[in-house]
Amino acid sequence: MQRRFFLSMCGVGATTMLMATERVSRDVLPKDISDVIRKVQRHMFPPDSLLPSADSSQITLFLEETLSHQTFDRDIRRFVINGAKELQEREGGRFLTYGDAQIEKALRSYEESSYGSNWLDRIMILSLEGLLSDPIYGGNAKESGWKALSTRGGDPRPTTRYAGL
């Protein structure tokens, strides 16, 4: 009976391993995709705004780490990546070379499509999460998002990054 139990547990373990959540590389975003997203976030959160800039709050780092976490929704990850690719393609591969006025025009045009509007919404949501999450998760550097809104994070504060779990 012990041998049969052992073999059945091996089968359960193997099945569990095969069905486990996919592991995602830390480098889930190719550099060109990350650069497009960073450029969009910099446009949404510029340095001269009442809110912290995209760079000072490290929201691109937050987005990259969030997308690369194994538990993050694969469909949303794919949507974010494909949306950045589509934006770059719509602009003939020149989006990364654009100045502020051209970026605004390109994003307004992209926003006119249902897909583009949803993609920009998703980038804004992920950016706001990065801006307002606990700094332990990679965004909201020096609690800059909280300070800009005269608030602070919840208690108790996390002690471990979910990416490390």
Q: Helices in 100-149 by DSSP H: which ranges? A: 100-111, 114-132, 144-148
pLDDT score of 12:
40
pLDDT per position as a tens digit, 10-65: 444 433 333 333 334 456 689 999 999 999 999 999 999 999 999 999 999 999 99
CA distance 85 to 110: 12
Q: Which pLDDT band, with edges at 50, 70 and 90, does 69 fall under?
A: confident
CA distance 165 to 158: 12
Kindly provide the b/e burial profile for residues 65-100, where b requires at least 16 CB atoms within 10 angstroms of the residue's own CB. bbbbbeebeeeebeebbebbebbbeebeeebeebee
Residue recorded with tokens 């049969």:
4
Q: What is the CA radius of gyration of the chain?
A: 20
CA distance 64 to 138: 9
Mean pLDDT, rounded, for 80-86? 98
For Cα atoms 25, 28, 33, give the angle at the middle one, nearest 5 degrees. 165
Q: Is 2 exposed, middle or buried (0-12, 13-18, 19+ CB in 10 A)?
A: exposed
pLDDT per position as a tens digit, 115-150: 999 999 999 999 999 999 999 999 999 999 999 999
pLDDT score of 161:
79
How much of the chain exceeds pLDDT 90, in percent?
Answer: 73
CA distance 108 to 84: 14
